[in-house]
């Protein structure tokens, strides 16, 4: 490919450099476009816009490839751990055994919340959505950890990143405990990151809690699958919030708010609700017809993706994990059968084939989480817990970039042109 692109507006031509990454599409660097032509580019939803340089995660949506720092997600999900993937995302390389032990130890030393922060929970209604609580409590961390909010100081950035990764399970588990009226369970640092989260969620002070290793592994894998996903809506929100110099806790709270939406992280909750509503395989054709009907707002939740125009590689791992969890817990849930048959019918339907709509990560994750015992309202909170590592890694990458600027998109103005103000008595 050529190393520059030219743009002709009328008889004036301007040239723009083309930049190449290590893999993936080249980008046309149009930073001087406005200065040279007086025009903006127009790209609502950023379908053709790269907003930053990033060395963290690569997706090839046509081929169904997802790499973290070059490593395929399938291999990481199979052989790695969430702590190891967290280290990888934050530091760029896989850790040695000592580095991993030291990182895991450091994270475990930040799992407790300031005791006063626990008072926050009591201000929420018992039926508050866990994501509402997460937005509030994570944002409030900035009021408690002043000693790590100087974003110009790499040590502060590292400590706040560790704090966020470490405290997120405690915050999410406490949101759950509050909603079911049970006492908060404090962290147990003798357990793994994921085992500790399971204990804080399902344990009670009155009884010993045994972590089921199959469930622990399955949930850890779910965390790996959700750890990062390039410049998605919530990550871009974190970057945009961070670009103004906002503190990391506030930025992650912004990411949580964005993730909550049903077109993003809220889709796993919506997907399971949909599968339950369908109920039995005989109803599937009706719902497929509804999804295809342009006059019906219904969509197959857990299907389709902005970037993947092929099977989401995370959905493949999820489907396998459902079986493992069902076998280990000896549960059977008719929604799994509905999910399998719905997937098969949709993948053979010309509408879904033509639009390249495949199951995404959320299609099966709800089925697993439900089998483990999480209520649907917790699904997105679990997603937020895992994605926190991606958010902080992306935020750190952005802040460390010397060319970083405040994010400030422009617009195509379609409102009234200038007109004189008319006093209220004269209208």
**Residue found under tokens 């483990």:** 372
Binding-site member from 175, 250, 278, 300 for ligand ACO (CB under 6 A): 300
Binding-site member from 287, 303, 336, 391 for ligand ACO (CB under 6 A): 303
**String of contacts with ligand ACO for each residue 264-283, x by CB under 6 A:** xx-x----------------
Is there binding between residue 193 and ligand ACO (CB under 6 A)? no
Number of other CB atoms surrounding residue 18 within 10 Å: 14
Secondary structure (3-state) at 115: helix
221 alpha carbon, distance to own chain's centre: 15
Is there binding between residue 304 and ligand ACO (CB under 6 A)? yes
The stretches of 92-185 forming alpha helices (DSSP H) are 97-108, 115-122, 130-140, 154-180
Q: Among this protein's residues, is 156 annotated catalytic?
A: no
Q: Could you give the C-alpha distances from 142 to 100, 118, 147, in angstroms and in order?
A: 27, 14, 9
Q: Classify residue 345 by its DSSP letter.
A: H
**Residue found under tokens 């291999």:** 75
Q: Among this protein's residues, is 362 annotated catalytic?
A: yes
Is there binding between residue 238 and ligand ACO (CB under 6 A)? no
What count of Cα atoms within 13 Å lies in the side-chain half-sphere of residue 167? 25
- Select 309 or 320, whichever has its Cβ closest to ligand ACO: 309
Is there binding between residue 305 and ligand ACO (CB under 6 A)? yes
Instruction: Find the part of the chain contacting ligand ACO (CB under 6 A) among 105-113, 191-199, 274-282, 358-366.
Output: 358-366
- Select 64 or 265, whichever has its Cβ closest to ligand ACO: 265
For residue 233, the minimal CB distance to ligand ACO (Å) is 7
Task: List all residues 6 or more positions away from 374 whose beta carbon is below 8 Å from its beta carbon.
Answer: 176, 201, 382
Size of the site for ligand ACO (CB under 6 A): 18
Catalytically annotated residue among 305, 333, 349, 426: 305
- Select 170 or 360, whichever has its Cβ closest to ligand ACO: 360
Instruction: Find the part of the chain contacting ligand ACO (CB under 6 A) among 74-82, 89-97, 114-122, 356-364.
Output: 356-364
Catalytically annotated residue among 220, 228, 312, 362: 362
Q: How far is Cα 141 from Cα 162, in angstroms, rounded to an integer?
A: 13
For residue 363, the minimal CB distance to ligand ACO (Å) is 7
Q: At what angle do helices 376-400 and 130-140 cross, to 10 degrees?
A: 30
For residue 263, the minimal CB distance to ligand ACO (Å) is 4
Q: How far is Cα 90 from Cα 93, in angstroms, rounded to an integer?
A: 9
**Residue found under tokens 């949930």:** 219
Binding-site member from 23, 39, 55, 263 for ligand ACO (CB under 6 A): 263
- Select 44 or 123, whichever has its Cβ closest to ligand ACO: 44
Q: Rounded to 5, what percent of the chain is helix, strand, coil?
A: 55, 5, 40
**Which two structure tokens, joined as six digits, stand for 402?**
């010397």
Q: How far is Cα 141 from Cα 382, in angstroms, rounded to an integer?
A: 18
135 alpha carbon, distance to own chain's centre: 14
**Residue found under tokens 């399998």:** 340
For residue 229, the minimal CB distance to ligand ACO (Å) is 7
- Select 45 or 416, whichever has its Cβ closest to ligand ACO: 45
Binding-site member from 114, 158, 276, 299 for ligand ACO (CB under 6 A): 299
Task: List all residues 6 or more positions away from 129 whose beta carbon is below 8 Å from its beta carbon.
Answer: 377
Is there binding between residue 309 and ligand ACO (CB under 6 A)? no
Binding-site member from 117, 291, 338, 367 for ligand ACO (CB under 6 A): 291
Q: How far is Cα 284 from Cα 146, in angstroms, rounded to an integer?
A: 53
- Select 54 or 160, whichever has its Cβ closest to ligand ACO: 54
Binding-site member from 195, 203, 248, 302 for ligand ACO (CB under 6 A): 302
For residue 265, the minimal CB distance to ligand ACO (Å) is 6
Q: Could you give the C-alpha distances from 258 to 235, 253, 384, in angstroms and in order?
A: 9, 9, 10
Secondary structure (3-state) at 163: helix
Binding-site member from 211, 241, 357, 371 for ligand ACO (CB under 6 A): 357
Question: What residues line the site for ligand ACO (CB under 6 A)?
Answer: 263-265, 267, 291, 299-306, 355, 357, 360-362
Q: Which residues are catalytic?
A: 305, 362
């Amino acid at each position: 490919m050529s190393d520059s692109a030219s743009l002709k507006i009328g008889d004036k031509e301007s040239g723009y450099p083309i930049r190449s990454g290590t893999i993936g599409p080249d980008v046309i660097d149009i930073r001087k476009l406005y200065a040279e032509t007086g025009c903006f580019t127009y790209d609502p939803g950023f379908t053709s816009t790269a907003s930053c340089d990033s060395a963290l995660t690569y997706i090839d949506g046509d081929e169904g490839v997802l790499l973290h720092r070059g490593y395929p997600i399938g291999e990481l999900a199979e052989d790695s751990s969430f702590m190891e993937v967290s280290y990888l995302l934050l530091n760029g390389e896989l850790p040695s055994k000592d580095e991993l032990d030291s990182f895991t130890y450091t994270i475990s030393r930040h799992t407790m919340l300031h005791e006063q922060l626990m008072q926050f929970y009591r201000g929420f209604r018992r039926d508050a959505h866990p994501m509402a609580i997460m937005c509030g409590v994570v944002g409030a961390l900035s009021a408690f950890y002043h000693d790590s909010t100087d974003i110009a100081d790499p040590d502060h950035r590292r400590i706040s990143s560790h704090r966020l990764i470490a405290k997120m399970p405690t915050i999410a588990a406490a949101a759950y405990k509050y909603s079911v009226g049970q006492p908060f369970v404090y962290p147990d640092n003798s357990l793994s990151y994921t085992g500790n989260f399971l204990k804080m969620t399902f344990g009670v002070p009155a009884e010993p809690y045994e972590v089921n290793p199959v469930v622990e592994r399955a949930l850890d894998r779910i965390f790996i699958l959700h750890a990062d996903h390039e410049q998605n809506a919530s990550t871009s929100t974190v970057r945009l919030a961070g670009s103004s110099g906002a503190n990391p806790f506030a930025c992650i709270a912004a990411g949580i708010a964005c993730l909550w939406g049903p077109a993003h992280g809220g889709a796993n909750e919506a997907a399971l609700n949909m599968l339950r509503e369908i109920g039995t395989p005989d109803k599937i054709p009706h719902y497929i017809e509804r999804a295809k009907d342009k006059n019906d707002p219904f969509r197959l939740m857990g299907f389709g993706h902005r970037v993947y125009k092929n099977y989401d590689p995370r959905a493949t791992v999820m489907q396998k994990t459902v079986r493992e969890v069902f076998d280990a817990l000896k549960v059977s849930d008719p929604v799994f059968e509905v999910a399998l048959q719905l997937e098969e019918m949709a993948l053979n339907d010309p509408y879904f084939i033509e639009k390249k709509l495949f199951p995404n990560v959320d299609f099966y994750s709800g089925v697993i989480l439900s089998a483990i015992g999480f209520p649907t309202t917790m699904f997105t909170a679990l997603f937020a817990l895992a994605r926190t590592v991606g958010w902080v890694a992306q935020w750190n990458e952005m802040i460390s970039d010397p060319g970083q600027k405040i994010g400030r998109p422009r617009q195509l103005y379609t409102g009234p042109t200038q007109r004189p103000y008319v006093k209220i008595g004269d209208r």
